[in-house]
Amino acid sequence: MKDEKNGGKKIAILGSTGSIGTQTLEVVRSNPELKVVALAAGSNVERLEAQVREFHPEVVGMWSEQAACDLRTRLSDLNVRVVTGMEGLLEIAVLPEIQVLVTAIVGMIGIRPTIAAISAGKDIALANKETLVTAGHLIMPLAREKGVSILPVDSEHSAIFQSLNGEPKGRVEKILLTASGGPFRGRTREQLAHMQVEDALKHPNWSMGRKITVDSSTLVNKGLEVMEARWLFHVELEQIQVVVHPQSIIHSAVQFVDGAIIAQLGIPDMKLPIQYALFYPDRKPMDGKRVDLFEMGQLTFEKPDLQTFTGLELAYKAAKQGGSMPTVFNAANEKAVALFLNKSITYLQIPELIGSAMEQHRVILEPTVEQILETEMQTYEYISGRISH
Ligand code: NAD
Ligand code: MG
Q: What is the pLDDT of residues 36-82, one digit of tens each?
A: 999 999 999 999 999 999 999 999 999 999 999 999 999 999 999 99
- With beta carbons less than 8 A apart as the criterion, state whether 156 and 229 touch: yes
Find the residues whose C-beta lies inside 6 A of ligand 1. Answer: 15-21, 40-42, 44, 63, 104-106, 109, 127-130, 154, 206, 208-209, 212, 270
Residue 98, pLDDT score = 98
CA of 154 to the centre of ligand 2 (A): 5
Residue 1, pLDDT score = 46
CA of 222 to the centre of ligand 2 (A): 7
Give the model confidence (pLDDT) of 215-256 as tens digits.
999 999 999 999 999 999 999 999 999 999 999 999 999 999
- Ligand nearest to C-alpha 179: 2
Could you say which residues of the chain have pLDDT below 50?
1-4
CA of 225 to the centre of ligand 2 (A): 7
Residue 6, pLDDT score = 54
**Closest to 210 (Cα-Cα) out of 196, 223, 197:** 197
Give 260-268's long-range contacts (Cβ < 8 A, gap of 24+): 261/176, 262/163, 262/167, 263/159, 263/163, 263/176, 264/158, 264/159, 264/162, 264/163, 265/291, 266/291, 267/291, 268/155, 268/205, 268/206
Residue 389, pLDDT score = 66
**Closest to 213 (Cα-Cα) out of 202, 229, 224:** 202
CA distance linking residue 43 with residue 361, whole number of Å: 33
CA of 132 to the centre of ligand 2 (A): 13
Residue 7, pLDDT score = 64
Residue nearest to atom 16 of ligand 1 (CA): 42
**Cut 0.85: pTM above it:** yes
Residue 55, pLDDT score = 98
Residue 204, pLDDT score = 86
